[in-house]
Chain A
Amino acid sequence: MPVAGSRSGAELRSRFQAGEPLSWNFVRAYNRLRLSLPPSLGGRTVLLAFEGSYTFTPLARSAISDIAESRAAS
């Protein structure tokens, strides 16, 4: 869920396209992590709800090639 205040989705998109950072909240009832532990830690699989936020900061269009290189390296 975007941290939007009173801004519409179209306005958020426009601002992001113009280079403004945008944040989203994790929604505890919605975002889930499934974790499977190996036998030495008991072998359980658990479903976890998480909360918090994250922020994306737009880069110049030319950064796309840098991203591809970064992904290949990691």
Chain B
Amino acid sequence: MRDTVPFQVTDLNAAVPEGVPFRWHGMELSTGSLAFKLDRAWQSFGVMDYGARKVSVRYHVALESPALIASFCALGVARDMVAPLRAVLDAEGGILDDHGFDGGIRGRCEIGDVGLLAPGERILAEVLPGS
């Protein structure tokens, strides 16, 4: 059996149903439900290393918020300013005996350009280890 198994992430469906509150031009808004899917413009790969009992993976993610797009369109904001965000998550985790991951898969996320932000600003994101 192979101790090191490369793999492709072939599906990702994650959601934050409650959304994220934020302020924009003095208005208190919410993103509404957020959906995280694979960014199919890229392939997402990883390696399962059973010898080291460690998995590492790079997810290319598209973050969609239909409610946010609808809200901004109603405010007259150009649709391309709230186009789906693209992000890259470099994650890792320890492989447990039940084939779960110790502390979950966690890592930092680089989020691509967001039209709503001022020049030089970025959104910072990190998937935290489970407790």
Name A's B-contacting residues (CB within 8 A).
1-2, 4, 8-10, 12-14, 16-18, 21-24, 26-27, 30-42, 44, 46-61, 63-64, 66-67, 70-71, 74
Contacts and interface: CB of A to CB of B under 8 A. Distances in A.
Given A42-B22, A44-B22, 13 more contacts: A1-B100, A9-B99, A33-B127, A35-B123, A41-B123, A42-B21, A54-B9, A56-B8, A58-B7, A67-B46, A67-B47, A70-B42, A74-B42
Contacts of B79: none
A52 B10 CA distance: 14
A41 B111 CA distance: 15
7 contacts: A2-B100, A27-B130, A34-B128, A35-B123, A51-B14, A56-B9, A61-B6
Contacts of B13: 52-54
Nearest to A62: B6
B2 interface: yes
Contacts of A35: 20, 123-125
Looking at chain A's contact residues, the main secondary structure is mixed
B54 to A, nearest CB: 13
Contacts of A55: 9-12
Contacts of A61: 2, 4-6
Contacts of B73: none
B5 A17 contact: yes
B123 A36 contact: yes
A26 B42 CA distance: 22
B16 A41 contact: no
Contact of B121 (A14, A39, A49, A70): A39
Interface in B1-46: 1-2, 4-18, 20-24, 34, 36, 42-43, 45-46
Nearest to B124: A36
Contacts of B131: 30
